[in-house]
Amino acid sequence: MVPGSPRLSGLQKQIFALYREFLRAAHLKTSEERIRIESIVSAEFRQNAKAIDRKNFLHIEHLLRMGKKQLEQLKSPATVGLSTLKVSAKIRNNQQN
């Protein structure tokens, strides 16, 4: 740890560890797929960092559990890639009504 830098909480350490594990798993895939996986993972982590309240521990822990399951699937030799599904706010609102 760099002197003077803020200490990380346990949850923050878990998030960074999960991110690193995704990047390591990406290196097990083809170079083309590795780049795609790294891009998806980076974008997903950044989007969640901006969109989720830092004090919403239940939601963060839920995302961590989901991420760990996705990571295990990605590590499988049978899995060749990673994909995302974007659901617009309009669709989500219609489903809630």
pLDDT at 95 > cutoff 70: no
> CA-CA distance, 23 to 18, in Å (whole number)?
9
Q: In this prediction, what percent of the chain has a pLDDT beyond 70?
A: 78
What pLDDT, on the 0 to 100 scale, is given for residue 84? 63
pLDDT at 96 > cutoff 70: no
Mean pLDDT over 15-37 rounds to 94
Tokens representing 88?
């617009």
pTM here is 0.76
What pLDDT, on the 0 to 100 scale, is given for residue 48? 94
Domain limits, the chain: 10-96
DSSP run (H or E) holding 47: helix 31-51
What are the C-alpha distances in Å from 63 to residues 14, 49, 54, 77?
11, 11, 13, 24
Tokens representing 82?
């990673």
Q: Which residue has the tokens 């991110």?
A: 19
